[in-house]
Amino acid sequence: MNEPKGSSVSGKVTAVSLSSKHTFSKENRQSIRLVAGLGVEGDAHFGSTVKHRSRVAQNPNQPNLRQVHLIHNELFEELKNNYTIEPGQLGENITTAGINLLDLPADTLLYIGKTAIVKVTGLRNPCAQIDHFKPGLLKAVLDKDSEGNLIRKAGIMGVILQSGEVKPGDSIRVKLPPKPFKKLERV
């Protein structure tokens, strides 16, 4: 694969995870397969239409803008004084290192491994289930900026543009979209 113009190797995959059932945490794997337009093969959220149960109840025909969930390992480091969290436990499919995922603009392209391409669609909106996993964790993954705006720190969501296998150790190359950048919103 040719290196995308305007990109740089800026991070790596530290873990990959999936769950065939709608469970909060996902099981670590040696590799996962991203399938264009559908998501993570074998995962409960695999499909072209929305799979999150609350969203299916609202409208099962919505496009699935949450085909893959990425969390930065740096979040686990930030929380380690109060919580021990392992990759996959917050429901992410790909755990990353070296990229500030939350600062990426919408429509950023992530070239992962040899062939996979993920288009960033927005922020994960953490819900009360996170407190069932570890009491008080919801408050820990939410913050406020200097103007009082809510900051969601529980990772980002994306859609698969090009299929490929992803495994720990794979590089992640970031290609920013054309300016003006659109700030990530919850999806």
CB 162 within 8 A of CB 115: yes
Check residue 52 and give its pLDDT.
Answer: 77
Strands (DSSP E) contained in the chain are 7-18, 27-29, 32-35, 39-40, 68-72, 94-97, 109-112, 116-123, 142-144, 150-152, 156-162, 164-166, 171-175
**Does pLDDT of 162 surpass 90?**
yes
> Residue 55's pLDDT band (boundaries 50, 70, 90)?
confident
pLDDT tens digits along 82-124: 999 999 999 999 999 999 999 999 999 999 999 999 999 999 9
Residue whose C-alpha is closest to residue 173's, from 2, 5, 11, 6: 11
Query: Token pair for residue 82?
Result: 């109060």
Residue whose C-alpha is closest to residue 72's, from 30, 103, 113, 117: 103
CA distance 71 to 29: 16
CA distance 88 to 127: 16
> Residue 2's pLDDT band (boundaries 50, 70, 90)?
very low
CB 112 within 8 A of CB 124: no
CATH of domain 7-175: 2.40.33.20
Residue whose C-alpha is closest to residue 122's, from 52, 182, 61: 182
Q: What is the mean pLDDT of residues 115-141?
A: 94
CB 157 within 8 A of CB 123: yes
